[in-house]
Amino acid sequence: MIDDPGFPGLHVRPPSGWVNDPNGLALVDGRYHVFFQYNPDRPLHGSIKWGHASSTDLLAWDYHEPALINRPGTIDEAGCWTGCVVDDHGVPTAVYTAVADRASDAVVALARSDRNLQVWQQSDRGVMGPPADRRLAETRDPYVFSYGDHRYAVQGTGGPDADPAILLYGCDDLDHWTELGVLLDYTDPLVRDVAESTTWECPNLFRLDDQWVLVVACNRRGDLASVYLIGDLQPDGDGLRFVPTSGGLVDQSPVFYAPQVMLADDRVLIWGWAREIDRSDEDLLAAGWAGALTFPRELRVRDGRLVSIPATELDTLRAGDLTGPEITERAFEVRSTGPVVLELHGDEDRVVAEEPGTVRILVDGSMIEVFGESGTPRTLRAYPTPTSTWRVRGADDSTVRINRLARPL
């Protein structure tokens, strides 16, 4: 294990380097594959590749060589940015944002693999270029989905001189895309209220509990949020139109950003990027790592809201009771039937989470994921030192149980 009490050893992230958006989440032949934006050379954003981890149980992760590599002199020289993985008639195919120089000139690119998803053949040409409207300077993050008998893709877009939008493409043949206009624009008051942004990023569109759900990452002039819209997908000329009826936050914290879903048999899982907070570049370079993916969460639609709970498999991480209130373990879980407070004591004592009702809190190094009664989690960061201790305080009428967390042997 990394000798850093803040390192989230149970979460998906390699021992060193930079990690951001989850990419290409796929369940193939019984194995979960999670890709992510990755700079193995430094814990800072740059020279982005697709990192790759896989698992049969969502608990023990095998780390593989980077799947997609930014290649000098090609369409992805400056980075292999966010995208998805599609099972294209039995051939796993990555559909990703290729950046040669400037993000405004990014293209959609393809890479294909066998069913182990470890060796990829990256194309030397894009299948879709930037929009003709050059005000849409931030167009990226393709996500492929099916509707009826056809396959479509969406990308997020926007820019300093344009409203955000979700662009739609036809791609029954992944090598030949057709522009189909706008799936969702910024004119609906509900959309403007829920998904205020200068640019929409990382759109995911999927069917869940007989509803269509659009998840999108919002850049609100530097303030980041991940939101959902629930509604109906309707034919519109040669394309489709998404008509939302409700919406809200995927996670209550700006730490959580750029999520992606995995359609996994009879459920939908979601991972997000957990950003580092209040750490300078010097702090990151000293640590040697930055960023992590959240634990996987299961999504449901309830009463017009998107809610999430920890993936069922995470229950298996419980590895014995802890008595508290002082906790020195690096990874533990708190379950409380009523008000509870989680504190970090060290050089500076601080309250990390204060929850009023029934709650489940998962702590792994500096990662704290809070699942309360609202159904909308919060992802938090707090950085313990070698001399830090955690403290859990429950109200007199609360039943509090604390478990150490560890991977099963």
Tokens of 126: 């894009």
CA 67 to CA 81: how far, in whole Å?
Answer: 12
CB 168 within 8 A of CB 182: yes
> Strands, DSSP E only, in 56-128?
62-68, 79-88, 91-99, 107-113, 120-122
C-alpha 294 chain-centroid distance = 7
Q: What region does 320 belong to: left with phi over 0, alpha with psi -120 to 50, or beta? A: left
Which of 350, 348, 338 is CA-nearest to residue 395? 338
SS3 286: helix
Paired tokens of 229: 């819209």
**Active-site residue, selected from the candidate residues 3, 4, 21, 303:** 21
Annotation marks residue 21 as catalytic:
yes
Q: In angstroms, what is the C-alpha Rg of the chain? A: 21
Distances from the Cα of 338 to the Cα of 139, 321, 356, 362, angstroms: 45, 19, 6, 16
Give backbone dihedrals phi and psi of 121, rounded to 5 degrees, phi first: -105, 110
**N- to C-terminal Cα distance for the chain?**
15
From the list 292, 223, 278, the residue with the least C-alpha distance to 253 is 223
Locate 167 and state its tokens. 């662009």
Coil, helix or strand at residue 312: helix
Question: Are 59 and 71 within 8 A, CB to CB?
Answer: no
Spatial neighbors of 203 by CB under 8 A, at least 6 apart, are 141, 143, 154, 155, 156, 166, 214, 215, 216
| Residues catalogued as catalytic | 21
